[in-house]
Amino acid sequence: MTLLRLLNVQGIAGITASLCLAVLFILQKGETRHWRKQSGHFEQLYQHEQSAFAGTVANYRAAAARTEDADRATAERVRAEQAAINQRSNNAFETRLADARARAERLRLEAPTAAANPSARGGSAVPGVPAAFGKLASAAAEDRLPASEALTATEQAIQLDELIKWVRQQHEVDSNQP
């Protein structure tokens, strides 16, 4: 009974409060261990996520660098192909112009002798053309361009023809292939 005398309402309340605090303390210790363990796990997940992100960034940068290198190589290849096309077109244009000018000069030089001597080309003499046909031939000659304008028209036709060829060749250069 001595123990009951010591345990009055206040004593029982104190013991109950102490027991509750002890249980709460034990629960708190368990929670602390749990969250420490979780914190370590979350830290590992965070570190893993950060390293994965760094790897992804590095992969994207490497891919971008490879793409830039491929683009530079493609641009250089396209420039080289276009320069070759330009050179070939320019050479063809100059050759055709020189041929046309040489032919025009030859015709200009042959015109006076051909009119004076119709059999001058080394062939056998051809019977004369009747007067009616001669009038037709001279009428057709009236519709022709003078020699200087004919040469200019021929040069312009060659220029346009070579320009069309150049445009088609430039169009065929594939800038999408590496």
54 versus 131: which is more confidently predicted?
A: 54
Residue 175: what pLDDT? 81
Report in angstroms the alpha-carbon separations of 137 from 3, 129, 140, 143: 153, 10, 5, 10
Cite the DSSP H helix spans in 117-177. 131-142, 147-172
For residues 54-76, give the mean pLDDT: 94
Specify the pLDDT at position 137. Answer: 46
Q: Tens of pLDDT along 165-174?
A: 999 998 988 8
Mean pLDDT confidence for 49-61: 95
Its pTM stands at: 0.54
CA distance 173 to 178: 12
The token pair at 83 is 């320069």
Classified as helix, coil or strand, 173 is coil
Task: Average the pLDDT over each of 23-32, 111-120, 124-133 and give the range with the smallest value.
Answer: 124-133
Please give the angle made by the CA atoms of 127, 130 and 136, to the nearest 5 degrees: 120
CA–CA distance, 20 with 12 (Å, rounded to integer) = 12
**Separation between Cα atoms, residue 92 and residue 168, nearest integer Å:** 15
100, 154 in Cβ contact below 8 A? yes
Residue 82 has pLDDT above 80, yes or no: yes
Give CA 117 to chain center in angstroms. Answer: 63
User: Given this model, what pLDDT does residue 136 score?
Assistant: 47
pLDDT digits (tens, 9 = 90+) for 125-161: 555 555 554 554 454 456 677 777 888 898 899 999 9
In this structure, of 84-88, 107-111, 158-162, the range with the lowest mean pLDDT score is 107-111
Amino acid at 34: H
Rounded CA separation 2/149 (Å): 143
Question: Residues of the chain with pLDDT > 90: what percent?
Answer: 49
- What's the pLDDT score for residue 140? 45
